[in-house]
Structure 1
Amino acid sequence: MSAPDFTIRLARPDDLDWLGAVERSAASVFRNSGPAWLADGDTMDPGVLADLCRDGTLWVAADGNDEPVGFLAGHGLDGSFYIAEVSVTASHQRRGIGIRLVEAAIEHGRRLGFGAITLTTYRDLSWNGPFYARLGFVEVDPDEAGPRHREKLREEAEAGHDPSRRCIMALRLDQPARSSRIAASRSNR
């Protein structure tokens, strides 16, 4: 199946039971490259996912059976729209689903007037920093990010993430749309 065989939509309460398995499957890529402990780490708190679902900031990629095979969770943070998690099941990765989920967050951020889309990620793993850079995200200095973004980096370090490999990235929304960059990223898969 290719990405057009999927629908990106807001999550519904009946999707929530699927998301832990989606996240666990997505994290399996860490077993062979990157911090292997993430493959068996905690998934997002179900209560937080339920809150984001209620707030309309949780999207799923649904397959032809309308079952979630990917999701993006986000929320406002320091005046930006913060992507807290993007996960696509291992069997459905590298098909443009992650890009389409990020596009949904960008559209949401633009619609609500956020100045930027932000996230924290590993700067060196191909499906992290370089993936977001291809979509137009740039690394920002933690001292220039808001205090809650810096707090996120501290929390991640306390949870075991290597702070020398983590970064904050942002996509400015007060500039022209980067749809051509996203389209180019789709064609280069």
Structure 2
Amino acid sequence: MVAQPTVDLRDVRPEDHEHLRPIQNAAIDEPSPQLLRAAVDGLGIGLVAVIDRPVGYVFALVGETAAYVPEIAVDPAHQRRGIGTALLDGVAERTAKAGASALRVTVRVDDERAQAFYRTHGFREHERLPEYYGTEPAAGMVLSRPL
């Protein structure tokens, strides 16, 4: 068995933008450059996973009781190695310290892979959002887990 490289998590920095934008484009079906810019500019809580270079990131906004993760992305060449889990665990810890009692994400209703990932991490359906995604409207599902 091949040992997995060590993943370091750190706060996102403005200079990460040039490394994270290609990850966003490769990993997210409908990437939002504005959302990534807001994350690297310090809006909310942003973490970067680093293995010699940035290989993934997560961004969360903390509200009065819940934190919302609008984006979590891992370079496709590094997926299925625990990086997404490390990012999710890191942002859960940080948002709980910031006062959130729940963590929420939105996934496409037809994205079984994303749903399976979040369900293995304790998320359950919170609500459905008809016509939530994109130019060809697709339903979204908000998943939530207590912190």
With the length of structure 2 as denominator, give the TM-score of the two structures. Answer: 0.84
Bigger-Rg structure (1/2): 1
After superposition, the Cα gap between the structure-2 partners of 1:118 and 1:158, relative to the gap in structure 1 and judged at 3 Å, is same
Give the unaligned 5+ runs of structure 2: none
Correspondence for 1:172: 146
- Work out whether residues 58 and 72 of structure 1, in 8 Å CA contact, stay in contact via their aligned partners in 2: yes
2:45 to 57, 64, 86: 57
Q: How many residues align?
A: 145
Q: Does 1:85 align with 2:71?
A: yes
1:133 to 95, 119, 123: 119
Paired AA for residue 94 in structure 2: H
Correspondence for 1:68: 54
**Structure with the larger helix share:** 1
Paired AA for residue 52 in structure 1: A
Pairing of 1:23-172 with structure 2 (within 5 A): 23-27=24-28, 38=29, 41=30, 43-46=31-34, 48-53=35-40, 54-55=42-43, 57-64=45-52, 67-77=53-63, 79-142=65-128, 153=129, 156-157=132-133, 159-163=135-139, 166-172=140-146
- Work out whether residues 120 and 168 of structure 1, in 8 Å CA contact, stay in contact via their aligned partners in 2: yes
Determine the C-alpha separation between the residues in 2 that align with 1:44 and 1:3: 30
Determine the C-alpha separation between the residues in 1 that align with 2:23 and 2:64: 28
Q: Identity across aligned pairs (percent)?
A: 26
Shift of 1:20: 1.6
Q: Please tell me the root mean square deviation across aligned C-alpha atoms, in Å.
A: 2.3
With the length of structure 1 as denominator, give the TM-score of the two structures. Answer: 0.67
Determine the C-alpha separation between the residues in 1 that align with 2:21 and 2:60: 16
